[in-house]
Amino acid sequence: MPASRTRISFYGLLMLGVIALAGVADAQNRDASQPRRAPEIAPASGASLLADSPAQIEAVGLRFYPPADARTNITRLGDQTTVQVLPEGSTWVMNVQTPRTRDGEQTVRSVSEAILNQLLESVAAVEVRGEEGAMTARANVIRVPDLEINNQPAARFYVALGDGDRANAGERVIRGYTVFKPMADRFVTFELITTEAEFARARPIYELVVGTALFSDVGERAEAQQASAERSGAFIEALSGESMRRAIGVTRERWDRLYEPSASGSDRDATEIGYRRLRTRTGQRGELRPEVPQSRWRAADRERGYIVHVDSRVLQDRQVIDIESIFFMGENRESEAWTIRVAVRDRQADRRQSQVAFTEIGAREGSRLSVQVEPRGGAPTASSANIDPRSYVSQVEHFLLPHLLVQGGGEGSYAFTYWSSNAGAVTTRRDELREPSSGVFELESTLVENDPAQTSRFNEEGRLLRTTLPATDMTPRRVWQPIELNRLMELWRSKGLPMN
């Protein structure tokens, strides 16, 4: 591959790691000239425990365990996913990326060399290899080109980059890469960025984490995804007016409470996070604009279909966030429309002082979807997409989907596409329906690829019992649970929380 082509392919990958760090350390190194399996490495003191739950990148079948004390952030751009791992103290950072290649001849070694060459060129440095790869000069490299990690070929290198005059002051930045190729057109790179001072401590942690990397079999994964797609397509094809009315029947009006459970198990000791009111019904498209009287409706406003109306309140720091969402889908599933309004105010402020933070307006006719987001004080942004009717569910169906699956889907794995306001794109949600005991159904749902799954329980009628949101780096475990309005009001008012 020509150097210029390689540079383009990995430019974004390299730019993610452009940071300045400082420090000094001597590194323990090894001969990188011989193939070897990844060794057993004892992590440094304070980082010996890995997280209980793995980080995952579904698109490449990857799962690995970050350190227990680290924060894990997942970002997506198109079909590219980046996982960033940040430890307490931020003495190093790890980036996991999934670049594609059009050159099927590329190997983990050739890609590793291409990345290394670009790093060396970026600082106008030359490669100097000390005895057994010791880092002792302006830009020094430790190569481990023929690794095998959990039966997966890999290549690894470390490079110290910095001004030779400053090397004695220990201000060089250390970059490490481990490269895998789990698919013919896809690589996975684990990047380490640290300082020379921290390298001796960060390296064993990095190698321990990379050593947990497991890739599911590509063939098995493709077969499972195909079966899931076929099951989902058959489910969509079987949807009818009767199935929609049954789902509406168990969700006609429901109040849900969002809270963080207490150690005592008492509601009084729990932390209240928010609540929502869910209403579902048959209706007409014009109901999305309650400010317009029915006498002024256009012909399109009189279209009949199904409506989901969700009013939510969430407490975040000193703010009260109110979200009003109303969704419509035509009876023939060929059209939909929705409006979402988000208003924010200070907890101590009067409700009339709420300011609309943004509005989202969406519509679909046939396979053409368009969405416009209007932030307060900012320029509106527009998105459009062509949906695949074999896998796509409307916003109305997205909210009713758990009930629809319990009532008529059957056990198994499902994959649907839908518009995600959180992702700002058409994305895939994955659901796994089980019946662990007679009359109780459990639905594990991943609403955006690579996000942690939430688990919901329903009775045999399809009524929600509770939804558990897993703990993340930012929030502890939280629970959505149906509640009577009077009980909700009593709890919130006893805790001095704003509820109107």
439 Cβ neighbours under 8 A, 6+ residues apart: 459, 460
Q: What pLDDT is stored for residue 135 in this prediction?
A: 58
Statement to judge: residues 138 and 254 lie in one domain: no
* Structural domain includes residue 487: yes
Statement to judge: residues 288 and 382 lie in one domain: yes
CA distance 130 to 318: 56
CA distance 245 to 247: 5
Instruction: Give me the amino acid identity at 453.
Output: A
Q: How many domains does one find in the chain? A: 2
Q: What pLDDT is stored for residue 22 in this prediction?
A: 28
Statement to judge: residues 241 and 381 lie in one domain: yes
pLDDT per residue as tens digits for the range 457-486: 999 999 999 999 988 767 788 999 999 999
CA 386 → CA 369, 392, 458, 477, distances in Å? 6, 10, 33, 36
pLDDT per residue as tens digits for the range 296-354: 999 999 999 999 999 999 999 889 999 999 999 999 999 999 999 999 988 877 666 66
Residue given tokens 């098995």 in the structure block: 220
With H, G, I as helix, E, B as strand and everything else as coil, classify residue 62: strand
Nearest to 79 by CA among 449, 422, 470, 351: 449
**Predicted structure pTM score:** 0.66
Domain hosting residue 474, numbered range: 222-494
E runs forming strands in 366-487: 368-375, 381-386, 412-420, 425-437, 440-446, 454-459, 464-469, 478-482
In the listed set 184, 216, 248, which residue is the last one of a domain according to the structure?
216
Statement to judge: residues 191 and 261 lie in one domain: no
Q: Residue 118: which CATH number?
A: 3.40.1000.10
Q: What pLDDT is stored for residue 163 in this prediction?
A: 55
* Structural domain includes residue 202: yes
Residue 90 has pLDDT above 90, yes or no: no
CA distance 500 to 275: 12
CA distance 75 to 83: 7
* Structural domain includes residue 231: yes
Residue 277 has pLDDT above 80, yes or no: yes
Give the range among 33-37, 57-61, 181-185, 348-352 with minimum mean pLDDT: 33-37
Confidence of residue 24 (pLDDT cuts 50, 70, 90): very low
In the listed set 178, 201, 216, which residue is the last one of a domain according to the structure?
216
CA distance 455 to 217: 26
* Structural domain includes residue 499: no
Statement to judge: residues 75 and 159 lie in one domain: yes
With H, G, I as helix, E, B as strand and everything else as coil, classify residue 398: helix
Residue 16 C-alpha from the chain's centroid: 18
Q: What pLDDT is stored for residue 131 in this prediction?
A: 40
Confidence of residue 389 (pLDDT cuts 50, 70, 90): very high
Q: What pLDDT is stored for residue 43 in this prediction?
A: 39
With H, G, I as helix, E, B as strand and everything else as coil, classify residue 199: helix
Q: What is the mean pLDDT of residues 402-417?
A: 93
* Structural domain includes residue 500: no
* Structural domain includes residue 208: yes
Q: How many residues does the chain have?
A: 500
Statement to judge: residues 60 and 164 lie in one domain: yes
Statement to judge: residues 121 and 261 lie in one domain: no
Statement to judge: residues 261 and 391 lie in one domain: yes
Statement to judge: residues 138 and 279 lie in one domain: no
Q: Is the dihedral of CA 158, 163, 169, 173 positive or negative?
A: negative
Nearest to 415 by CA among 399, 436, 400, 433: 433
pLDDT per residue as tens digits for the range 129-154: 544 445 555 558 888 888 999 989 99
Residue 34 has pLDDT above 60, yes or no: no
Confidence of residue 18 (pLDDT cuts 50, 70, 90): very low
Tokens of 118: 């670009």
pLDDT per residue as tens digits for the range 160-176: 887 555 444 457 889 99
Alpha helices (runs of H) in 266-421, residue ranges in sequence order: 395-408
Average pLDDT, the chain: 83
Q: What pLDDT is stored for residue 238 in this prediction?
A: 94
Residue 38 has pLDDT above 50, yes or no: no
CA distance 34 to 43: 24
Q: What is the mean pLDDT of residues 101-121?
A: 89
Statement to judge: residues 235 and 210 lie in one domain: no
With H, G, I as helix, E, B as strand and everything else as coil, classify residue 44: coil
Q: Are 170 and 24 in contact (CB under 8 A)?
A: yes
In the listed set 216, 250, 271, which residue is the last one of a domain according to the structure?
216
Statement to judge: residues 117 and 243 lie in one domain: no
* Structural domain includes residue 164: yes
Residue 108 C-alpha from the chain's centroid: 27
Residue 386 C-alpha from the chain's centroid: 22
Q: Are 192 and 202 in contact (CB under 8 A)?
A: yes
* Structural domain includes residue 321: yes
CA distance 375 to 424: 13
Q: Are 454 and 464 in contact (CB under 8 A)?
A: no
Statement to judge: residues 175 and 264 lie in one domain: no
